[in-house]
Amino acid sequence: MLRRAFLFAAVGLSAAPVAGQGAWAAAPKGKEGDGKGDVGQYVELQPVGLPVVLDRKLVNYIFVRIRINLTNTANAARLREKEPFFRDALVRTAHRTPFTLPSDLAAIDVAKLSAALKRDAATIAGPGQILSIEVTSQAPRRRGLTPAA
């Protein structure tokens, strides 16, 4: 009987709010005005595997993380909902004309990818919404690949 009472007391105390906890939970993570709590004007794409093709043969995949920077007038919340459309456009373009660097099969041509995705993203988002495309990371599936001479 004593064990049951102790168990109910422990469960009751763990569910009870701690004094001041509500104020802490509502407080922003950073200080006011430092910008850490602000949501930026960008759309972060989920990692995408892009093909690396040499002589019409698939030789590698590069997994990239991409950030689409938006203009100040863009509706970031609405465009974040379109993230799957941006990824789809990127994958379709990369399979049509791969972003292969002729000198390095473990990296992609960032300038070519940025130009193609900016064009496709402007079609999806509408005119005047896309500022720039930034490749934040590249991770090849296989490293150390060099083109055959």
C-alpha distances in angstroms, 12 versus 6, 16, 43?
10, 6, 43
This prediction has a pTM of 0.68
Which among 62, 28, 65 has a CA at the least distance from the CA of 145? 62
* pLDDT score at 18: 47
Q: What's the CA gap between 36 and 17, in Å, rounded?
A: 27
* pLDDT score at 27: 37
In tens digits, what is the pLDDT along the chain, a chain of 149 residues?
555 555 555 545 444 444 444 433 333 344 444 444 345 799 999 999 999 988 888 888 999 999 999 999 999 999 999 999 999 999 999 999 899 888 888 889 999 999 999 999 999 999 999 999 999 999 988 765 555 54
Q: Sign of torsion, CA 94 95 96 102?
A: positive
* pLDDT score at 96: 92
Query: How many alpha carbons fall within 13 Å on the CB side of residue 10?
Result: 6
Q: Which helix (H) or strand (E) holds 114?
A: helix 110-125
Burial class of residue 73 (count of CB atoms within 10 Å of its CB; 0-12, 13-18, 19+): exposed
* pLDDT score at 104: 85
